[in-house]
């Protein structure tokens, strides 16, 4: 098992992992364009030379970043890979000097296991919600906001 920064050659695999779950309404859809433009935010998890997981860290502000687009292939769930990807994104956050990481998710229980706590969405900067305005699920997407300290 190896987690590494994503490359452009990985984009189609990331696209299919994320959109498979988005089709099942477990996360939000992401376009190829959005993945290419933000490829430097992504890590991929390889198992026996195949990409079976991905995740991204998006910096929002001087002290805040978001874990996004986290997905582990169906047949590799429950092996600790999701946790490993989030831990790698936390490592990247710490390297960048980020103090707090949040996520907006339909799977709050998974993130609670990793030390996140549910927060009132109003405590997130307005900037985050202004991005949500462009989503077709706004304002009732049902995603739960959670946060963890990097300190
Ligand atoms: C959510 C997801 C990333 C978890 O990945 P995973 O590799 O299966 O999870 P892990 O094996 O690392 O699990 C870590 C811990 O969380 C728990 N867990 C995993 N998925 C969970 C869930 N949906 N609900 C509650 N707990 C969960 C595990 O039991 C494990 O607990 P333990 O440490 O006590 O054994 C994966 O199921 C997935 O890709 N789901 C579809 C996409 C999605 O929902 N993405 C995240 C939100 S946007």
What are the tens digits of pLDDT across the range 78-99? 999 999 999 999 999 999 999 9
In the three-class reduction of DSSP (H, G, I as helix; E, B as strand; rest coil), residue 61 is classed as: strand
| Residue given tokens 């990807």 in the structure block | 85
**Overall pTM > 0.85:** yes
The CATH number assigned to the domain holding 8 equals 3.40.630.30
pLDDT given for residue 128 in this prediction: 83
47 lines ligand 1 (CB under 6 A): no
pLDDT tens column, 115-127: 999 999 889 988 8
Per the structure block, which two tokens stand in for 88? 């790698």
State the greatest distance between any 2 C-alpha atoms of the chain, in Å, as a whole number.
43
Domain that holds residue 69: 2-149
- Which are the contacts of 57, defined by CB distance < 8 A and separation ≥ 6? 41, 43, 65, 66, 67, 68, 89, 92, 93, 101
Residue 79 corresponds to which tokens in the numbers above? 């092996």
- What is the C-alpha radius of gyration for the chain, rounded to an integer number of angstroms? 15
Number of domains in the chain: 1
Q: Which residue minimizes the CA distance to atom 9 of ligand 1?
A: 82
Cβ–Cβ contacts within 10 Å for residue 40, how many? 9
pLDDT at 101: 98
How big is the chain, counted in residues?
151
Cα(56)–Cα(42) distance, rounded to whole angstroms?
Answer: 4
Query: Does ligand 1 have an atom closer than 6 angstroms to the CB of 127?
Result: no
Q: Please state the φ and ψ torsions of residue 26, each to the nearest 5 degrees.
A: -95, -20
Tell me the average pLDDT across 15-36: 95
Beta carbon of 120 within 6 Å of any ligand 1 atom: no
């Amino acid at each position: 098992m190896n987690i590494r920064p994503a490359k452009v050659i990985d984009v189609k695999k990331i696209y299919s992992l994320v959109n498979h779950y988005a089709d099942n309404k477990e996360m939000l859809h992401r376009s190829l364009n959005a993945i290419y433009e933000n490829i430097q935010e992504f890590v991929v998890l390889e198992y026996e030379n195949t990409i079976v997981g991905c995740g991204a860290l998006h910096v929002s502000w001087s002290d805040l970043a978001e874990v996004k687009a986290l997905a582990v292939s169906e047949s590799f769930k429950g092996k600790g890979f999701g946790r490993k990807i989030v831990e790698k994104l936390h490592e990247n956050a710490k390297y960048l000097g980020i103090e707090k990481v949040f996520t907006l998710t339909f799977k709050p229980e998974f993130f609670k296991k990793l030390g996140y706590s549910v927060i009132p969405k109003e405590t997130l900067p307005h900037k985050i919600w202004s991005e949500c305005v462009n989503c077709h699920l706004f304002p009732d997407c049902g995603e739960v906001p959670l946060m963890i300290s990097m300190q």
